[in-house]
Amino acid sequence: MESPAASGARGPRRARAIFDAALSLLAERGYHGLTMEAVASRARVNKTTLYRWWPSKDALLAAALTESDALALSVPDTGSLRGDLRALAGRIAELLTDPTTAPIAEALVSAGTGRPELAAVARAFFSDRLVRERPIFERASQRGESLADIDLRTVMDLVAGAIWFRVFVRGEAPSDAELDEVVDAVHRGLDGRVPTR
């Protein structure tokens, strides 16, 4: 039989069902309750199929997270930088507190040096997010807000990082007022460097 690497394929025929099963089980049982046996059973595939493509639970979960749209985030266009940041903050908070997506996000946060496949996915995920968020700042610049000397990663780390910290470290769901405070604090800092119109 041809190996996955030799065939150049990205996954078995039922890859979508396998990924859906892995993520739904993650949401239901958490990381420690997720097993290869349970994924195989729910996806109706043989366990050997899973191990042929993914040598471990982490490798399977990394593939599922990479291919999934579960944490998809549309980039808002409200007409102002502050409005875009606030809309983005609201969507991030929703993803991190929704019972179907929170365990997936938590798996990304918990990915550490002991789980290299998940850690690599987490790095790629957050890098991709920054690329997708860049249009917010490009539009702000086109409106006359000079952001050339501002590190966009720092801005997004401040906004998104505050929300991830609130949810996963403090165990609190941020209120609308608290999201406003986070965005306003960051935006006020930018206002000191950006000409307003």
Cβ(141)–Cβ(148) below 8 Å? yes
How confident is the model at residue 8, as a pLDDT? Answer: 38
**pLDDT of 74 higher than 70:** yes
Work out the pLDDT band at 29, boundaries 50, 70, 90. confident
The H or E element spanning position 30 is helix 15-33
How confident is the model at residue 148, as a pLDDT? Answer: 64
Q: What's the half-sphere exposure (Cβ side, CA atoms, 13 Å) at 113? A: 0
Go through the domains of the chain in sequence order and give each one's CATH number. Answer: 4-67 (1.10.10.60), 81-191 (1.10.357.10)
Q: Which residue has the higher pLDDT, 27 or 112?
A: 27
Question: What is the pLDDT of the chain when averaged over all its residues?
Answer: 85
**Torsion from C-alpha of 34, 40, 43, 45, nearest 10 degrees:** 170
How confident is the model at residue 103, as a pLDDT? Answer: 87
Lowest mean pLDDT among 26-35, 47-56, 166-175: 26-35
Spatial separation of the C-alpha atoms in residues 185 and 59, rounded to whole Å: 39
Work out the pLDDT band at 146, boundaries 50, 70, 90. low
How confident is the model at residue 1, as a pLDDT? Answer: 36
